[in-house]
């Protein structure tokens, strides 16, 4: 076989080999498994607090009973806020925190809820400490030293406080966290299992 023939044979063989590779069945390819970070990029979780607009004022009815704020509607009723969100198909449960982000509050926690079933997409207004809480969910002890919701009660004259409600979609049905977990402990337990999160803010001032 002369040089031209050898070159032609090598070229034809390369084309045949490339054609075989291009027709390789997709089902036989080993694809990377989807990771939680990938899910976080594609999943959506749109939390909504039903009692006030995002970034708006919190009505006095959600504040504690301890003070007459002299706002429209009178003093606080300490009603827990209502929550609604879109379902995350990959979620096995949800966890929730409401905290005060004002510097003088030092991330004071007003509500902690874990083990919210994946089938649940709302918590009714005023549900805390009642049978209206989703079956299987667990309310934890907050900065108030009590289980369940307690509303805004900022120090007089400290200005507007931002209260941030955050919902996490988790990849576990039950979260391993103590009933008296601190905010730091809660976040430490949540973060390794968080698929996606969504937040909603409100403002409250006690003059």
Name the nearest CA neighbour of 114 among 59, 50, 188, 58: 188
Q: Looking at the domain assignment, is residue 182 inside a domain? A: yes
Rounded Cα gap, residues 121 and 113, in angstroms: 14
Among 42-56, 68-82, 148-162, the minimum mean pLDDT is found in 68-82
- The number of distinct structural domains making up the chain is 1
Q: Across the chain, what does the average pLDDT equal?
A: 81
Q: Looking at the domain assignment, is residue 3 inside a domain? A: no
Q: What is the pLDDT of residue 66?
A: 64
Q: Looking at the domain assignment, is residue 16 inside a domain? A: no
Residues 6+ apart with CB under 8 A from 43: 88, 89, 90, 91, 169, 195, 196
Vertex 180, ends 124 and 141: CA angle to 5°? 30
Q: Looking at the domain assignment, is residue 6 inside a domain? A: no
Q: What is the pLDDT of residue 40?
A: 52
Q: Looking at the domain assignment, is residue 8 inside a domain? A: no
Average pLDDT over residues 196-205: 95
Q: Looking at the domain assignment, is residue 18 inside a domain? A: no
Average pLDDT over residues 4-22: 41
CATH number at residue 101: 3.90.280.10
Q: Looking at the domain assignment, is residue 65 inside a domain? A: yes
Q: Looking at the domain assignment, is residue 46 inside a domain? A: yes
- Domain containing 102 equals 29-204
């Amino acid at each position: 076989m002369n040089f031209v023939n050898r070159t032609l044979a090598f070229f034809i063989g390369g084309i045949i080999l490339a054609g075989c590779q291009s027709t390789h069945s997709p089902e036989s390819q080993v694809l990377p498994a989807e990771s939680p970070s990938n899910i976080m990029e594609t999943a959506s979780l749109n939390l909504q607090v039903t009692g006030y607009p995002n970034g708006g004022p919190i009505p006095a009815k959600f504040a504690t009973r301890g003070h007459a704020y002299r706002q429209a509607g009178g003093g606080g009723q300490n009603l827990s806020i209502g929550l609604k969100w879109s379902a995350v198909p990959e979620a096995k449960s949800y966890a929730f925190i409401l905290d005060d982000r004002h510097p003088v509050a030092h991330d004071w926690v007003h509500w902690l809820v874990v083990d919210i079933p994946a089938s649940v997409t709302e918590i009714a207004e005023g549900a805390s400490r009642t049978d209206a809480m989703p079956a299987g969910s667990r309310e934890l002890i907050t900065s108030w030293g009590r289980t369940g919701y307690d509303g805004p009660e900022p120090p007089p004259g400290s200005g507007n406080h931002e209260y941030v409600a955050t919902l996490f979609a988790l990849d576990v049905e039950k979260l391993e966290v103590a009933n008296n977990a601190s905010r730091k402990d809660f976040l430490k337990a949540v973060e390794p299992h968080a698929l996606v999160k969504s937040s909603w803010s409100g403002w409250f001032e006690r003059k």
